[in-house]
Amino acid sequence: MYNSKIIGIGKYVPDNVVTNQDLSKIMDTSDEWITERTGIKERRWVVEGSDDTTATMGVKAAKQAIERSGLDKDDIDFIIFATLSPDMYFPGPGVQVQHALDIKTVGALDVRNQCSGFIYALSVADNFIKTGMYKNILVIGSELHSHGLDKTTRGRGVSVIFGDGAGAVVVSREEDNSKGILSTHLHSQGEHAEELVVKAPGMGTRWVTDIIADNDENDDSYFPHMNGQFVFKNAVVRFSEVIMEGLIKNNLQKENIDMLIPHQANLRIAQFIQKKFGLTDDKVFNNIMRYGNTTAASIPLALCEAWEEGKINEGDTVVLAAFGSGFTWGSAIIKW
């Protein structure tokens, strides 16, 4: 059986920078309030009318990843796209990428696992390659949150957190089983599904026709809702558990971690995990300060920047971990 290995990484973020000071002009908040609770100083938001969408940002990140992999686009034999913010209700953006890149008629799969979406997508790619079904898989995480946020004081607890952007990797066959993705670990706990949720539009709750018929200006069912303290408390526990699960599976210790890249949900969560695992600053990469929480894009965005800055090198043990809506969470242990 083969291993899989990341051989190309790419990213894309919109040009438009929105600072905490900018947000304080449109809602009752402040730089101090946001920074203290999240660690975020700024984020990128797509400008209304821009050509940037979840799919097109994913395409831009994918082009960079394919170029850096040394492969041709027609070497890609499967596409996996993780997002909670597709351009259309259906079809998903995977097929849009296939069309935009003019790739032959390969399969395209969309993953809806929110903050852990990229880990789930990477796990699917890893196992497709390990079984020999595919050789080169394009995995994308991309989000356009800004058009769907409540940018008033009512929504400040959520809206200040999220940003737009995309990241992508090319995952390819590796015959040396000591290299590449060593293992992935996935979990869920649906009893907490409504602690971090967008309820509408949904066929089982309120569809678009219901929203239009009610015409209720106070209806917030189609904006994100988050029980912040509850999510935080669960996140720090599940992050720790799933990282340890991966280390134990591969007979590794905390001291063997060369780079931890956590999902960029909240800088305070990342700092808690860093302290718990006794990792120095050079062994944890965070960029939430600049981009906010980009959900499925956050890990590939951070992974790309860490690699570009020379903080990930051949032979390093890299740990990816995420937790989010569902609840779902997961980790990946990689020998670079």
Each residue's pLDDT tens digit, 232-241: 999 999 999 9
Parse the chain into domains and list their residue ranges.
3-177, 181-196+224-335
The model's confidence at residue 204, banded by pLDDT at 50, 70 and 90, is confident
Question: What are 18's two structure tokens?
Answer: 């929105």
**Which of the residues 3, 20, 113, 115 is marked catalytic?**
115
Looking only at the bridges linking them, the beta strands covering 17-19 and 225-226 are: unpaired
Q: pLDDT per residue over 270-279, tens digit each?
A: 999 999 999 9
Indicate the pairing of strand 136-143 with strand 78-82. Answer: parallel
Q: Does residue 81 have a pLDDT over 90? A: yes
Say if 3-177 and 181-196+224-335 have the same CATH topology: yes
The encoded tokens of residue 233 equal 């408390």
pLDDT over threshold 90, residue 217: no
CATH of domain 181-196+224-335: 3.40.47.10
Is 293 marked active-site? yes
The pLDDT of residue 221: 86
Whether 1 has a pLDDT exceeding 90, the answer reads no
| Residue 246: per-residue pLDDT | 98
CATH architecture of the domain 3-177 equals: 3-Layer(aba) Sandwich (3.40)
Over the Cα atoms of the chain, what is R_g? 19
pLDDT of residue 259: 98
- Cβ partners under 8 Å of residue 138, min gap 6: 62, 65, 66, 76, 78, 79, 80, 97, 168, 169, 170, 171
Q: Which of 136, 234, 263, 286 is catalytic?
A: 263
Mean pLDDT of 187-195: 96
Active-site annotation holds for 304: no
Cα separation of 77 and 228, whole Å? 40
Tokens, residue 124? 């699917």
Annotated catalytic residue within 113, 136, 286, 293: 293
> Residue 220: pLDDT above 90?
no
263 is catalytic: yes
Rounded to an integer, what distance in angstroms lies between the CA atom of residue 111 and that of residue 92? 9
